[in-house]
Amino acid sequence: MSAISGGEQRGFKVSCRRNGEPVSLSADFILAAPGRSGAYEFRDMATELGITHNFGPIDVGIRVEMNRRYFDAVNTVVYDPKFVFQTIRHGDRVRTFCTNPGGRVREENYYNFKLVNGDALATRKTENTNFALLNTISLTEPFVDTTEFGRMIARQFFLLGGGKPLVQRVGDFREGRRSSLATFDSVTRHYEVCKASYRAVPGDITLGMPARIIDNLWESLKTLDKIVPGILHPSTLLYAPEIKFFDTHFPTDRNLETNIEGIFVAGDGTGKSRGIVGAAISGILAARGIARKYYDRDI
């Protein structure tokens, strides 16, 4: 979607491309669910249209991958456990997210950078488990644009990795050295215990992330290792960056309608959720709101 033009009352025109050809569509109302990848572009459209929005916190962190034997004791009880920490040094919030037992680390492609994520297939399991470890960041004056803050970090990693995310072994991280191809699977260092499921570029993740975030992530990992011993085995992999762009908030009514009549929002990209389940629920709420308002029906 390249632009949205507001009309009188409920009339809107949406300009986009279909199979590479420009298309113009008309609508009485619009449900905008741009996703995290489209959040930045939609925010620009919202500014042009006068849709009220503000900046909220952003989650910046890493994807942790380890031999699954260390985390199976937890995953057999809870498939996707959530651990939340408040760090001692900075008093910041760090949380685990999206645990994938027997899963893979995956690549997320954006226009001018790449991020990491993870998934797990029902019929093709690996010997590893991965999860995100995310530091929630809020910004105040003079710079409040948390989206641009996250994009700056992502672009920095894009440069450091030559167009790919970085990965570092815990054993190397502890000793303050970068990971390298030459020793990445070193048996002497016990790195063979966890085979990487994704080919990121071995390097030093501390070069691309602010020291405060690194402090928070490492403190939380050490705490988690006391709860689930083995997480900080030297072979454990730290992939970066993982960033969740749901930081632009759109004030709405209970139907998720914005201050511009006829424009509804839903999902992570508009700050209405933090994950696939919440995003789906917000879409249902918006659909019900549209049905109530424009069709006088409850669904």
pLDDT for the residue numbered 131: 98
CATH of the domain at 19: 3.50.50.60
Identify the domain containing residue 73 by its residue range.
58-244
Outline where DSSP puts E strands in 102-235.
104-109, 114-119, 128-137, 166-169, 201-202
Q: Note whether 100 and 218 are same-domain residues.
A: yes
Claim to verify: residue 87 and residue 146 sit in the same structural domain: yes
Residue 194 is classified by DSSP as S
Proportion of the chain in helix, strand, coil states, percent, rounded to 5: 30, 30, 40
Of 204, 223, 244, the one marking the end of a domain is 244
Q: Are residues 233 and 141 in the same domain?
A: yes
Helix (H/G/I), strand (E/B), else coil: 114: strand
pLDDT at 53: 87
Closest C-alpha among 31, 7, 27 to residue 255: 31
Together in a domain, 43 and 114: no
pLDDT, tens digit, for every residue of 171-200? 999 999 999 999 999 999 999 999 999 999
Please list the ranges in the chain whose pLDDT falls under 50.
1-3, 6-9
pLDDT, residue 41, reads 82
Question: Do both 38 and 14 map to the same domain?
Answer: yes
Does the model's pTM come out above 0.85? no
- Using CB atoms within 10 Å of the CB of residue 57, give its burial: 0 to 12 exposed, 13 to 18 middle, 19+ buried: middle
The confidence score (pLDDT) of residue 7 equals: 47
43, 135: one domain: no
How many distinct structural domains can be found in the chain? 2
Asked if 78 and 222 sit in the same domain, the reply is yes
Residues 128 and 214 in one domain: yes
280 in the same domain as 210? no
**Domain limit, last residue, from 207, 224, 244:** 244
Asked whether residue 37 falls in the same domain as residue 166, the answer is no
Find where tokens 């690549």 sit: 107
Domain end call among 222, 244, 266: 244
The torsion angles phi and psi of 3, rounded to 5 degrees, stand at -165, 155
Same domain flag for 91 and 117: yes
Indicate whether 8 and 104 sit together in one domain. no
Q: What is the pLDDT of residue 212?
A: 98
Amino acid identity of 204?
Answer: D
